[in-house]
Structure 1
């Protein structure tokens, strides 16, 4: 943040004199809409020829011109506005404009005079006057008053009489001077006092008190003065406290005082002089609505302060020890030694300085600059995310950012207006220090406790900053790792409300819909993405997978045949067709397409051979299946699907120990999101079924199920274990497996069904019925498994079981009768 020294945004509305012929409102009438024409003289100077430069004075002036030209400012014709920026702001140009506008303005018209730049006073003539410095102004020695300066008394002499003619004047002066020009700090105060003095029937709005400095920063509005920005937003309608469609001077006073005083940390307090009950501007509803949306998406930030020339005067007032300490602080700040190393850092320097020189004007400036610096690492990590770009950070960097934010919170204290935001960001960075850039390839079951801890921190952060899009996105991703798809869905949907054009969020939401079996929603998303971004094959692949899962055979074939026209898609399309025919139990076609896919694969295609082994297995060709699975593991000993499939073979052949070992290898090597499709479910889990209704059994065996591989491996371990004589009563071991199974929220209904099977196998009828009821309440819908799975035989004839069937499957029960 740059100290504009004294940015006096003085707004003066002068005069409300009755003039019957022009229909002028009497004092007390509605002044929000001038009855005549609006004119404006706007001056903004950041770059001076001789005087030290400012940063954003010209941008404030340009913003005010844009405001007047807009709907919110009344759509003033450009020909009625004279704007002078930087080198064009000369005495001759400004004097001519004042003379011309003064002659043009008639009773009932409105005239704006806006000045943003330096203000000063000649050191030898400290009278009740002040100077507004134009582009060619010298750096001091204004005694002759012939240089490029405007005297406050001259402005009063020329412009104040216009009020007596019934002209509505809005006189805005932003006179900035940090105390390093000829008049010094006293010159600042005298200029401010001269501006604040009453001239007659005028309103004056000053950016700060005469003994204060006005602030500007790049963080505010992309580079604006603090007062200027909030004055403009207040006039656009944010100051309309009673929502009557008008902003009065009283409302504007409250608004800008609150905002500027808060964001300056009580170092800048605006001042309005005049009858505060008068209405000032009308509010454009559309402009206000758009501004509110924009403000809701903004991220509050701490801005750095640069006192410019005043800093030298403050440092000169210190004793040698103070100067040395301040120099150490500045160097550590520049070297980014903020809280480390412990023996010398900027925070340590500040605390020593603040204790010894607590009344120095440098102390609050040091505190604010240090606080802003402690936020910079966080900003560097998050800013790319807000721009829709990749943030190349690390978990260590996130840890350092969280520690710096924690130090910032301690530095500013709980009463600071940014404390809640800082706490939210600290929690976010702490969460990311555990899981930054965690992806499917890295995540497996061992990560779950870490992700749970990180997610709790993110949830706490979102409570404090509910519209922080980066936090919402991170929550959505981590909920998917925890299989909390409903929560992930809500997070991604909220993220898209905040950032409706974010490609990754829309893609992630489509994936979550697929996980939740909300295929219609997922299909719409991927159809839209595939059409809008044809260069990305991932969207077409996801769409093809959805069409296959929903058995939309014609659409699937049409899409995949079209994809084959692109050589880069041939590998994945042949593989998808292999899966399609595997699910249709067409062994020859499935093997053909898997082998075709291998032709386009760079290297050995483990998944192709695994799936060939799988199609052999489900067609009772165990030896060929085993050969392929072992071949895959010879190439890649960590391949989870081959481990699982060999485990299933071992279980069927009566080798539970070997089976459990293979299933556990699957869990260790599978990522958290690895899924597999299961056909002919009756071949798994060592189960047997009632086949008296052959048609129902065949329909059941043809169905395709998609399971998380770690989940189905735990389920397979469960049955391999409890089917060993005597082990079903090993409660501790069984409870541990169920504890793992219940962490997979997407399969919760299935878990309760198998819990009911386990209880029935133990001949625990109440426990089995209760678990089965929970499964059915959660949506378990396989009627055939209920009546055909022989693990439930113990409770199948019980009245409680029959009652559950009648409650959840009334039509099927009627048909059976």
Structure 2
């Protein structure tokens, strides 16, 4: 049998109150009996205290624990690891993609006999107890809910990492976890952190595991340990330096480490219960003690900042680049700059992909090729993950983006993800997830462009979503989008509810499907009251959501309950007074109530907060029309359409302005654009009918009127009273259409 590698996976997942460790003395960590003179040590150290999503409770010392551990590895006692052997990801650096990237790096650089270390300090959680959801490690960009959406590292992926290292790479895997802590997370109601810790305690292969506490306990942190560290982390590092060497044989074994942690951690956190766990071969050697250094520390002569200081090293990159042709060096720097600036696929001859394809052919850079590939693949994933997270968090800025802005921003994501897939290959553990997200974004963009609710286009988007589910059947975003297609495109409301509920079953606390279903029903006059249960549920999920109170205000507005509508819109403003959308909505209400001065005040407030939103200008143009300031209205409406030319309602308003100004040709053009952008814009269709009637263009007028009836227009009294339609009402074709669509009126 071949010599085995020793792989140390240190996880400090979530901490309740962590504190700092003194430096101890031992020779390079994991100096196993199976090590060889030619072996190397590689490490990935991750610490996350400050999570991107404000709904994920921040930890106090997780990042400090990781930094102390990394500095230990950089010291003489820990092996003097340089930047080519040690990757440190702290807080915002520790995204899901970068975590996966780091694991890939270990897979590639570790050879038989090497030592590999991973230290993860952060949250662990599970959203629901099931065999298919054993838990997640929450990376910096994890959403607060719906971990399957990405940003969280699923334990099955960890299992694959450990199994591959243990079986394929013949690695000895040691997993050290600080996996259970207090704090309200998505899975708190089902004991998510405890369930994750319990699942982490299971052996995946032949690895050894050291856990900070029992699965039903919490890990403690506080200032009494090193001025601010976790009790477990503090004593773990002490033990590795040699404090755990109970028989003074200059070795620290797993058995000794377990006894040391239990004696010190358990006793020091009383009356709270925290009993560390060890699983695996108790005779496994973890460290060799440096007696002189340990003695110096015990006597107080050692300086922990010196012991933990970084070392200078030229590194592989500098070594490889030294002496290369200047043109290669310039291109390499261009590649790194392109990654930093996220200039990935365009412009064609000045982007990361262009430079990567050139550099990958340079034999002298062979030692850097794998790092370049991993880093490139990670950056390709990061931005789309942020967007998916923002949907989970109902980010109002993202939710308020115009269709044009969303197409411009998200349109490149399928290409990004496809390129990441090509770089990582089909055997990579993220392959299925990336495929699923690629097809999701393709379906999303297809659905987004379907302004006319065309069923054929809807079927194209649905087919892409089905492909997404073939790769990952539990991606909740897909079911959310399917709900929208069934609701707006197919008008199958029962199916819309079914798929919205399916998305919410995957994560009950996800607000977005609940919100969009409420909005759907609010826009259907005959079904408007079906919005109420979803609005009430949305409020129960997040009573401080700007979007929810806006939707509630829209509901009451459409019900002509204007006082209640105003109250809801004001609640939205109180929830977030620096967003433009709530001011836009209350301005619309004031317009409806003929409170034009108040409406203009609110809309100017919206423009002050955000002058880039086309909807704000469109609303302002409508207000100016009502105030009979037609020249100003035309200017503002055109500005709105310049920002987003696909706004059907704005084209309709512009058509009315032109009609009032007797610019009939321009008005006809504007109404036509409105109808082409949204074939169900009944206002634009009827206004076109009126315009054509005034001009006595009866054939086209009756064509548009017939389409309006087919699309659901049913205001019989309005048709009979509108003076612009007097010409059409005098014709026999009128009576025929009325008899067809309003037979009860002909009796």
Query: Shorter-chain TM-score category?
Result: 0.3 to 0.5
Of structures 1 and 2, the one with the larger relative CO (CA 8 A, separation 6+) is 2
TM-score, structure 1 normalization? 0.38
TM-score, structure 2 normalization? 0.41
Q: Specify the structure having the higher radius of gyration (Cα).
A: 1
